[in-house]
A and B are shown apart, each in its own frame.
Chain A
Amino acid sequence: MTAMIDIAALDDIPRQGARVVKTEAGCVAVFRTADDQVFALDDRCPHKGGPLSEGIVHGTSVTCPLHNWVFDLATGIAKGADEGQVRTYPARMENGRVLLDVSFLQRRSAA
């Protein structure tokens, strides 16, 4: 089941940038691309735990600020020679607002 909730205004996230949503299950990085698509991923690089929200966003990819691993924002899969995947969460933009599926939190609290 999905549970989309309104997180913030799109304009609170800089274009080609990200902001962080704090949750019980750790921080989620919400990205905004140059063409205003939004993506949500765990704010933690599987390599050494770098905050992906602080990486440079290019196209629909982000480069981790610590050691330059590159991840596809839509799938969370590492690009190039590196192997790894970041968990992704459904997110979308609607009427200038950013919506995030927080069902992963409900599953957690129900468990």
Chain B
Amino acid sequence: MMRLVVIGAGMASGRMLEQLFEAGFAGEVTLFNGEPRGNYNRLMLSPVLSGEKTYAQIVTHDDAWYAAHGVECRFGEHVTKIDRERKVVVSKRGETPYDALVIATGSAPFIIPVAGKELPGVCTYRDLEDTNAMIAASRPGAKAVVIGGGLLGLEAAAGMAARGAEVTVIHLMGHLMERQLDPSAGYLLQKDLERRGIRIHCTGATKAILGAERVEAVLLEDATVYPADLVCMAVGIRPEVRLATDAHLEIGRGVVVDDQMRTSDPAIFALGECVEHNKQLFGLVAPLYDQAKVLAATLMGTEAAFRPVQTATKLKVTGVDLFSAGDFADAPGREDIVFRDPGRGVYKRLVLEGDQLIGAVMYGDTGDGSWFFDKIKSGEDVSGARETLIFGPAFQGGAQADPLAAVAALPPEAEICGCNGVCKGKITAAVAAGAVTLDAVRVETKASASCGTCTGLVEKVMALTLGDSFTANANPPMCKCTDHTHEDVRRMIKAQGLKSIPAVMQELGWKTVGGCASCRPALNYYLISDWPLEYRDDRQSRFVNERNHANIQKDGTYSVVPRMWGGVTTSAELRAIADAADRYAVPMIKVTGGQRIDLLGVKKHDLPAIWADLNDAGMVSGHAYAKGLRTVKTCVGTEFCRFGTQDSTGLGIKLEKLLWGSWTPAKVKLAVSGCPRNCAEATCKDIGVVCVDSGYQISVAGAAGMDVKETELLCTVATEEEAMEVISAFVQLYRENARYLHRIYKWVAKVGLDWCKAQIADPANRRALHDRFILSQRIYQTDPWAELAERPADWAPIADLTLRAAE
């Protein structure tokens, strides 16, 4: 009679034994398990942790089952050695002989090697002991920190939060569950979890776990400290292969097995999370059950072969619907179909390769998950249904879905605009009464006038009512990633309080995964402008010049321009510039149109050093590359000129010192002339000041580039102080309202000079604009050179292999 020894009573070996007995296995079975209990459904530990299930409910094989099948249970007894020569396993109670041995040791949680990892109160999330430790520590008001924002970590966090603990999740990556989700879906998940009171700290690297007797707090690399009564490490698992390694079986990342689950020793088999098959590891339950079936057949002498299948995962947090299946990484030749329904917090992404569906991620509405999973598994040609595929089975098989037909079918009382409670009938009535443009409908009904996400729907209702005479919003969408215009995006960022790029992309239904080189810099600017305190500049969403704080030239070198306030310099500054030019072998020194000195042809890796030299001489970045204040050009005014009426040089310097720093939609150039002879050419600038005897004429919206246009008078003021307040308020008005990359003259042409005048003429409004500008300056009026010159390594090659090649 065959003596079968099984090491490990997990889900895989449990299923294998079931299959074996069903097939009529007649041998003796000895089952070892390190945990002092038999087989339970490990996947259901999360409902136990959250209190939705008890341990008894998740036991899959109880003592009676083992007894009925004559299994000798050696629970709580570790196998310490496998002697392959003599075919015995060694444990505390001696040796146990085998004819066939099954290694099912599963996996061990990965412990990050930080100080304090062995303190009492630090646990992993693997077995019932861990679960019980977390339950015990989750009394209301207790503080728990979970390290790891993947599937397991989030289930642990949600479970403890459900029991009343204050939970913080620390995640190394930029967004949660990055292996399953893109940043936008990660944002939705984070928002859902935060709504449940779980604090999420992304891009957080754990430096140490603090505590004297037991855990007290977690310290991050960025110096954040989170107090903690319990710390759960859920950063990943790795196959438990120690026994197999000691027995000199073939090991890769796991115990290597063939299609019959046989290891390099024909009498020894392995299955579950500890195995490696075709260089692949397995962590999900479906393939483990397939392995169990194959191994049972092999042990019964029947032919069977293990073929891994596609797998699907679901996050088991009550109320959070997340489903992912197949392969959804970006790769060449793959296409994404993205669907977002911001109102319901729904995100769906399908990944196609050729004519096949190979991956799916869904958040918020996972009802069609299994239908997509079937399509992935079958590998069927989905090209015919491509247009409507993402809408799931409900939309298949019939006639081509017509988006207008769906709107036409809506009854008059159907709500179109949720913000303002506007129904379809009200919109059709307004259109019938003469509101034939979107703006007119907005004015008449308030539909789409708040958050704006219903704009598309409102337009469809208008199109149905007006027929061919309807022309959709003539304003083109921002880019191919979205149907919204720049203006709508700006409005919705403010109305909905969107404070990150993933938040904008999700809530406004972006059609691509990571945006493009056109929308990313625009979104980055809008967020900087609208949330100066909350939003942090995303350097990777900037064009090269603003990222490197220098203008790239056609040969990949850069130009360096130090600021010269009002175009005034000194002999000491000129000497420092000359020295720098010599030291870095600058090929050309040129005087610019804005009264500055330009050092052209500087190599990227020299930038930090040349900046440091110019900083040492008291100069800061001239922002000659920035969508921000470039220059204030001046004439010499009353100081030297016999015609000067005011101190134009002094005012120019004051304006430059007031305005430099904050980002604007496009570059901003000023000039101040001391008399109407206008030597500083102030009347073709974005903002120009012409001094007269009685004060200062402030005019705006000039151009002297692709278009040439004279400025128009905004207002005339009597004092320098008033001039400065008017100009800073006007710049802020531009910052808050213009489309990205529109110079002031283009923006004024859209909104009208009269509107600008009215905004500035109201003293309270003007003051408020000025104050908001100063608030932004508190954060952004810093010299980027000083900051970046301290990190020269970032500007050099990451590695130099030129020496290596000579070997």
Report which A residues bind B (CB closer than 8 A). 7-8, 12-17, 19-25, 27, 30, 33-37, 48-51, 54-60, 63, 65-66, 68, 70, 72, 74-75, 102, 105-106, 108-109
How distant is the Cα of A34 from the Cα of B800 in the complex, in angstroms? 25
Instruction: Determine how close the nearest CB of chain A comes to the CB of B204; give it in whole angstroms.
Output: 13
Which listed residue (A37, A50, A51) contacts B329, Cβ 8 A? A37
Which listed residue (B183, B330, B512, B805) contacts A105, Cβ 8 A? B805
- Which are the 9 A-B pairs with shortest beta-carbon distances? A63-B517, A19-B798, A74-B332, A16-B540, A65-B544, A54-B544, A56-B517, A24-B805, A22-B797
B554 interface residue, CB < 8 Å from A? yes
Q: Please tell me if the beta carbons of A21 and B798 are within 8 angstroms of each other in the complex.
A: yes
List A contacts of B548 (CB < 8 A): 54
Q: Please tell me if the beta carbons of B799 and A22 are within 8 angstroms of each other in the complex.
A: yes
Q: Please tell me if the beta carbons of B798 and A50 are within 8 angstroms of each other in the complex.
A: no
Task: Digitize B180-213: 1 where CB-to-A-CB distance is under 8 Å, 0 elsewhere.
Answer: 0011000000000000000000000000000000
B552 interface residue, CB < 8 Å from A? yes
List B contacts of A49 (CB < 8 A): 555-556
B719 interface residue, CB < 8 Å from A? no
Residue contacts A-B, CB under 8 angstroms, 24 given: A7-B799, A8-B798, A8-B799, A12-B798, A13-B798, A15-B540, A20-B798, A22-B799, A24-B802, A25-B805, A33-B330, A34-B182, A34-B183, A34-B514, A35-B182, A49-B556, A54-B547, A54-B552, A56-B543, A57-B540, A58-B517, A74-B332, A75-B332, A102-B804
Instruction: Determine how close the nearest CB of chain B comes to the CB of A100; give it in whole angstroms.
Output: 8
Interface centre among A16, A74, A109 (most CB of B within 10 A): A16
Q: Please tell me if the beta carbons of B517 and A68 are within 8 angstroms of each other in the complex.
A: yes
Instruction: Determine how close the nearest CB of chain B comes to the CB of A90; give it in whole angstroms.
Output: 14
B728 interface residue, CB < 8 Å from A? no
Interface size for chain B: under 10, 10 to 19, 20 to 34, or 35 or more residues? 35 or more
Q: Please tell me if the beta carbons of B804 and A105 are within 8 angstroms of each other in the complex.
A: yes
How distant is the Cα of A105 from the Cα of B804 in the complex, in angstroms? 9
Instruction: Determine how close the nearest CB of chain B comes to the CB of A103; give it in whole angstroms.
Output: 11
List B contacts of A48 (CB < 8 A): 554
List A contacts of B516 (CB < 8 A): 58, 63
How distant is the Cα of A17 from the Cα of B547 in the complex, in angstroms? 11
B331 interface residue, CB < 8 Å from A? yes
Interface centre among A16, A30, A37, A58 (most CB of B within 10 A): A58
List A contacts of B554 (CB < 8 A): 48, 66
B801 interface residue, CB < 8 Å from A? yes
Q: Please tell me if the beta carbons of B520 and A56 are within 8 angstroms of each other in the complex.
A: yes
B806 interface residue, CB < 8 Å from A? yes
Please, which residue of chain B has its CB at the minimum distance from the CB of A75? B332
Q: Please tell me if the beta carbons of A56 and B540 are within 8 angstroms of each other in the complex.
A: yes
How distant is the Cα of A27 from the Cα of B556 in the complex, in angstroms? 12
Instruction: Determine how close the nearest CB of chain A comes to the CB of B706; give it in whole angstroms.
Output: 17
Q: Please tell me if the beta carbons of A102 and B520 are within 8 angstroms of each other in the complex.
A: no
List B contacts of A109 (CB < 8 A): 805-807
Task: Digitize B528-550: 1 where CB-to-A-CB distance is under 8 Å, 0 elsewhere.
Answer: 00000000000111111001100
Instruction: Determine how close the nearest CB of chain B comes to the CB of A72; give it in whole angstroms.
Output: 6
Q: Please tell me if the beta carbons of A23 and B805 are within 8 angstroms of each other in the complex.
A: yes
List B contacts of A65 (CB < 8 A): 543-544, 552
A-B contact sample (14 more), CB < 8 A, given A19-B798, A21-B799, A54-B548: A8-B798, A16-B541, A22-B799, A24-B801, A34-B182, A34-B514, A55-B517, A60-B331, A60-B332, A65-B543, A66-B554, A68-B517, A70-B517, A108-B805
Known: A22-B800, A55-B517, A74-B331. A14 touches B540 (CB 8 A): yes
How distant is the Cα of A88 from the Cα of B169 in the complex, in angstroms? 38
List B contacts of A60 (CB < 8 A): 330-332
B515 interface residue, CB < 8 Å from A? yes
Please, which residue of chain A has its CB at the minimum distance from the CB of B553? A66
Known: A14-B539, A66-B554. A105 touches B801 (CB 8 A): yes
Q: Please tell me if the beta carbons of B330 and A35 are within 8 angstroms of each other in the complex.
A: yes
Instruction: Determine how close the nearest CB of chain A comes to the CB of B182; give it in whole angstroms.
Output: 7
List B contacts of A14 (CB < 8 A): 539-540
B178 interface residue, CB < 8 Å from A? yes
Please, which residue of chain B has its CB at the minimum distance from the CB of A58? B514
B173 interface residue, CB < 8 Å from A? yes
B174 interface residue, CB < 8 Å from A? yes
How distant is the Cα of A109 from the Cα of B805 in the complex, in angstroms? 7
Q: Please tell me if the beta carbons of B556 and A51 are within 8 angstroms of each other in the complex.
A: yes
Instruction: Determine how close the nearest CB of chain B comes to the CB of A92; give it in whole angstroms.
Output: 13
B521 interface residue, CB < 8 Å from A? yes
Known: A21-B801, A23-B802, A109-B805. A59 touches B512 (CB 8 A): yes
How distant is the Cα of A87 from the Cα of B543 in the complex, in angstroms? 23
Instruction: Determine how close the nearest CB of chain A comes to the CB of B503; give it in whole angstroms.
Output: 15
List B contacts of A55 (CB < 8 A): 517, 544
List B contacts of A66 (CB < 8 A): 552, 554
Q: Please tell me if the beta carbons of B797 and A21 are within 8 angstroms of each other in the complex.
A: yes
Please, which residue of chain A has its CB at the minimum distance from the CB of B175? A34
Instruction: Determine how close the nearest CB of chain A comes to the CB of B336; give it in whole angstroms.
Output: 8
Instruction: Determine how close the nearest CB of chain A comes to the CB of B555; give it in whole angstroms.
Output: 8
Please, which residue of chain A has its CB at the minimum distance from the CB of B181? A35
How distant is the Cα of A33 from the Cα of B332 in the complex, in angstroms? 14
How distant is the Cα of A13 from the Cα of B556 in the complex, in angstroms? 20
List A contacts of B552 (CB < 8 A): 51, 54, 65-66
List A contacts of B249 (CB < 8 A): none
Instruction: Determine how close the nearest CB of chain B comes to the CB of A65; give it in whole angstroms.
Output: 4
How distant is the Cα of A35 from the Cα of B513 in the complex, in angstroms? 11
List A contacts of B801 (CB < 8 A): 21-24, 102, 105
- B486-543 contacts to A, CB under 8 A, are 512-517, 520-521, 539-543
List A contacts of B806 (CB < 8 A): 24, 109
List B contacts of A51 (CB < 8 A): 552, 556
How distant is the Cα of A14 from the Cα of B547 in the complex, in angstroms? 12
Interface centre among B183, B543, B797, B806 (most CB of A within 10 A): B797
Q: Please tell me if the beta carbons of B514 and A59 are within 8 angstroms of each other in the complex.
A: yes
How distant is the Cα of A58 from the Cα of B336 in the complex, in angstroms? 14
How distant is the Cα of A1 from the Cα of B542 in the complex, in angstroms? 38
Please, which residue of chain B has its CB at the minimum distance from the CB of A70? B517
Q: Please tell me if the beta carbons of B798 and A30 are within 8 angstroms of each other in the complex.
A: yes
- B323-360 contacts to A, CB under 8 A, are 329-332
How distant is the Cα of A36 from the Cα of B514 in the complex, in angstroms? 13
How distant is the Cα of A85 from the Cα of B555 in the complex, in angstroms? 20
List A contacts of B178 (CB < 8 A): 35-36
Please, which residue of chain A has its CB at the minimum distance from the CB of B512? A59
List A contacts of B539 (CB < 8 A): 14, 17
Instruction: Determine how close the nearest CB of chain A comes to the CB of B4; give it in whole angstroms.
Output: 37
Q: Please tell me if the beta carbons of B515 and A58 are within 8 angstroms of each other in the complex.
A: yes
How distant is the Cα of A75 from the Cα of B797 in the complex, in angstroms? 23
Instruction: Determine how close the nearest CB of chain B comes to the CB of A4; give it in whole angstroms.
Output: 13
List B contacts of A15 (CB < 8 A): 174, 540
How distant is the Cα of A33 from the Cα of B797 in the complex, in angstroms? 19
Interface centre among A30, A35, A74 (most CB of B within 10 A): A35
Known: A24-B802, A74-B331. A17 touches B513 (CB 8 A): no
Please, which residue of chain A has its CB at the minimum distance from the CB of B548? A54
List B contacts of A20 (CB < 8 A): 797-798
How distant is the Cα of A83 from the Cα of B321 in the complex, in angstroms? 43
Interface centre among B332, B517, B555, B799 (most CB of A within 10 A): B799
How distant is the Cα of A70 from the Cα of B642 in the complex, in angstroms? 56
Q: Please tell me if the beta carbons of A37 and B330 are within 8 angstroms of each other in the complex.
A: yes
List B contacts of A13 (CB < 8 A): 798
Instruction: Determine how close the nearest CB of chain A comes to the CB of B622; give it in whole angstroms.
Output: 20
